[in-house]
């Protein structure tokens, strides 16, 4: 296997609700190679978002080791974790999460405001991201003036504007029509193939899973890797 960008071992996460504890992740292991394109599937409530949030450093595990891009996330907290996230991970969500009062360009620029860049450099990075997602002619539109597919492309541009190694997408096509969903999947596949971004996508969409080079299923707190069954040539990415 190639160098791993994600290495989880023995990861557990339990939530307590009304005095009862709910084991969401149960001593789970996962390895994803750098440059991989992996789909994470599983029933609603099975812990897919919880797992993605642990990998992206948005939440901490109760037990186990979460190593992403060479960093043990349990050792980082507060501002160090925020800085690691800003540099390493681009997040894409089902609901786009764009800021309504800002234009597409301004939304995409946001993550760069934390970086030590001049206005001119920021502009160059934003222009490049807009071009990558095919939104150059919509840069001055607000989210309400964009279609759902365009909003998600703007959100992807925002996720990649800092040039992160890893893209974490939580049901990115869940709110889109088939044609827009296909464009988003095509875009993620291109970012993976051409820019060598590692992509981990949570999805219910069998077409999304078909595009991924590996599919893992989360059920009852454990992962089942079906990539070997699905890919007899053994696409172990
Ligand atoms: P999925 O993304 O697969 O639908 P989630 O990771 O969102 O699942 O949630 C897994 C389970 O954990 C669900 O039963 C959910 O209700 C519960 N859960 C998620 N976040 C919290 C939280 N902050 N507090 C309590 N329970 C939570
Ligand atoms: Mg979820």
Domain assignment present for 233: no
Residue nearest to atom 26 of ligand 1 (CA): 15
Domain assignment present for 9: yes
- Report how far ligand 2's centroid is from the alpha carbon of 35 (Å): 24
Residue 228 pLDDT: 47
Domain that holds residue 13: 4-228
Query: Which carries the bigger pLDDT value, residue 232 or residue 141?
Result: 141
19-25: long-range contacts, CB 8 A cutoff, minimum separation 24: 23/221, 24/50, 24/221, 25/50, 25/51, 25/54, 25/61, 25/221
Residue 237 pLDDT: 52
Domain assignment present for 77: yes
Domain assignment present for 192: yes
Domain assignment present for 235: no
**Ligand found nearest the CA of 40:** 1
Give the mutation target among 12, 13, 14, 15 for probing the ligand 1 site: most ligand atoms within 8 A of CB. 15
Q: Pick the atom of ligand 1 nearest to 17's CA.
A: 25
205-212: long-range contacts, CB 8 A cutoff, minimum separation 24: 205/173, 205/174, 205/181, 207/181, 207/182, 208/39, 208/173, 208/181, 209/39, 209/41, 211/37, 211/39, 211/185, 212/37, 212/38, 212/39
Give the mutation target among 19, 49, 171, 202 for probing the ligand 1 site: most ligand atoms within 8 A of CB. 49
Q: If pLDDT is split at 50, 70 and 90, which confidence band does 227 have?
A: low
What Rg value do the Cα atoms of the chain yield, rounded?
18
163-211 tens-digit pLDDT: 999 999 999 999 999 999 999 999 999 999 999 999 999 998 888 888 8
Residue nearest to atom 21 of ligand 1 (CA): 15
- Number of folded domains in the chain? 1
d(CA 152, CA 136): 14
d(CA 158, CA 126): 8
Name 90's bridge partners.
167
98-128 tens-digit pLDDT: 999 999 999 999 999 988 899 999 999 999 9
Residue 235 reports pLDDT greater than 50 = no
- Any residues with CB less than 8 A from the CB of 75 and at least 6 apart, and which? none
Question: Which residues have any ligand 1 atom within 6 Å of their CB?
Answer: 15, 17, 22, 24, 42, 44-50
Q: Pick the atom of ligand 1 nearest to 43's CA.
A: 3
Residue 14 DSSP SS3 = strand
Average pLDDT over residues 201-222: 91
Domain assignment present for 76: yes
- When the pLDDT of each residue in the chain is averaged and rounded to a whole number, the result is 92
Contact 139, 107 (CB under 8 A): no
Q: Pick the atom of ligand 1 nearest to 47's CA.
A: 6
State percent of the chain over pLDDT 70: 94
Q: If pLDDT is split at 50, 70 and 90, which confidence band does 229 have?
A: very low
Domain assignment present for 237: no
d(CA 222, CA 115): 38
Domain assignment present for 196: yes
* pTM exceeds 0.85, yes or no: yes
Residue 1 DSSP SS3 = coil
Residue nearest to atom 10 of ligand 1 (CA): 47
Q: Which CATH number goes with the domain that contains 49?
A: 3.40.50.300
Q: If pLDDT is split at 50, 70 and 90, which confidence band does 1 have?
A: low
């Amino acid at each position: 296997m190639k160098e791993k960008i994600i290495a989880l071992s023995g990861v557990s996460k339990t939530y307590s609700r009304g005095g009862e504890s709910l084991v969401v992740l149960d001593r789970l292991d996962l390895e994803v190679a750098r440059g991989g394109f992996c789909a994470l599937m599983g029933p609603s409530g099975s812990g897919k978002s919880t797992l993605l949030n642990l990998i992206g450093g948005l939440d901490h595990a109760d037990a186990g080791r979460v190593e992403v891009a060479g960093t043990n996330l349990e050792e980082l907290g507060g501002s160090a974790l925020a800085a690691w996230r800003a540099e390493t991970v681009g997040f894409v969500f089902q609901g786009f999460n764009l800021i309504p009062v800002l234009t597409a360009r301004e939304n995409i620029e946001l993550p760069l405001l934390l970086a030590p860049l001049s206005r001119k450099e920021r502009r160059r990075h934003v222009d490049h991201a807009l071009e990558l997602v095919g939104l150059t002619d919509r840069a001055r539109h607000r989210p309400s003036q964009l279609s759902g597919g365009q909003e998600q492309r703007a959100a992807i541009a925002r996720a990649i504007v800092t040039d992160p190694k890893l893209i974490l997408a939580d049901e990115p096509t869940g709110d889109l029509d088939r044609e827009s969903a296909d464009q988003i999947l095509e875009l993620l596949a291109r970012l993976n193939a051409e820019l060598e971004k590692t992509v981990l996508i949570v999805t219910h969409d069998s077409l999304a899973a078909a595009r991924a080079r590996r599919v893992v299923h989360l059920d009852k707190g454990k992962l089942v890797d079906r990539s070997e069954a699905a890919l007899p040539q053994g696409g172990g990415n």
